[in-house]
Amino acid sequence: MYIQWCVKGIASRPGFDWAAAQSTVSAQHGIISNWWHHHGQITPADVAGELNLANLYRHLNDYAAYGPVSPFISLAAGSVERDAYLQTNTVHSAIDTGLWFATAYGTRPGALFYCWTPVGLNPAVEVASVSESVRDLDVYRDYLPFQPEGEITAKVSLPSNQIQRVEWWDSFAAAGPVHTFVNPSFVEPTPLTTLRELF
């Protein structure tokens, strides 16, 4: 398992403006999946029934139909390392990808959430507590080249204490966000890593 910093872009819509984006963090709702939104209440048994490989592929390949009820949450982590670059000739910035989604492809304002999530070294779709590295060439090889998107897929929800800050962008053409809210309840991922500082 490793810890991956990510960005989640969410475009504005009725009921989701800057106040709602800030409340996602300040009220400790976190980012919840469309599946949770759709059902209102979920149980551990419900979760177990939803997290499987078939549904993950539906999330990745048929989002128009499945996205509104998907238990998965796409996150942008950027890509790629230099070795992978030689094979793909492409580096995507997580912030660019997040901003493209957050502004609904340049059509309206939206929010960028900066967060971290634990990612499994191997596929573990059924395990809700770790995210999947779906674009990792060593894990999921059968990707299509035309559509870069979220490289990391979280499951069911992303706790608010893993969200460092949220930004509100009026437009991708702006020099920066018009609002930023730093989460006072944010927890650094340091306790989960193998690094121990001396004192």
Residue among 107, 180, 185, 193 that touches another protein (CB under 8 A):
107
Closer to another protein at the Cβ: 130 or 167? 167
Q: How far is the CB of 49 from another protein (least distance, A)?
A: 24
Long-range (24+ apart) CB contacts under 8 A made by 175-183 are 177/112, 178/18, 179/18, 179/22, 181/21, 181/22, 181/25, 181/26, 183/25, 183/26
Q: How far is the CB of 152 from another protein (least distance, A)?
A: 15
DSSP state of 191: G
Closer to another protein at the Cβ: 83 or 197? 83
Is 175 a residue that touches another protein (CB under 8 A)? Answer: yes
Residue among 8, 92, 135, 155 that touches another protein (CB under 8 A):
92
Phi, psi dihedrals of residue 160, rounded to the nearest 5°? -65, -30
DSSP state of 50: H
Residue among 45, 173, 195, 198 that touches another protein (CB under 8 A):
173
**Residue whose tokens read 């106040």:** 19
Closer to another protein at the Cβ: 49 or 106? 106
Residue 156, preceding peptide bond in cis (omega within 30° of 0): no
Q: How many binding residues for another protein (CB under 8 A)?
A: 32
Two tokens at 148?
């870069």
Closer to another protein at the Cβ: 143 or 186? 143
Residue among 26, 88, 161, 164 that touches another protein (CB under 8 A):
88
Q: Give the integer Cα–Cα distance in Å for 33 and 178.
A: 26
- Judged by CB under 8 A, the chain residues 34 through 73 that form the site for another protein are 61-64, 67
Two tokens at 84?
């992978």
Q: Give the integer Cα–Cα distance in Å for 60 and 66.
A: 9
Q: Give the footprint of another protein on this chain (CB under 8 A).
A: 61-64, 67, 82-83, 85-93, 96, 99-101, 105-107, 144-149, 172-173, 175
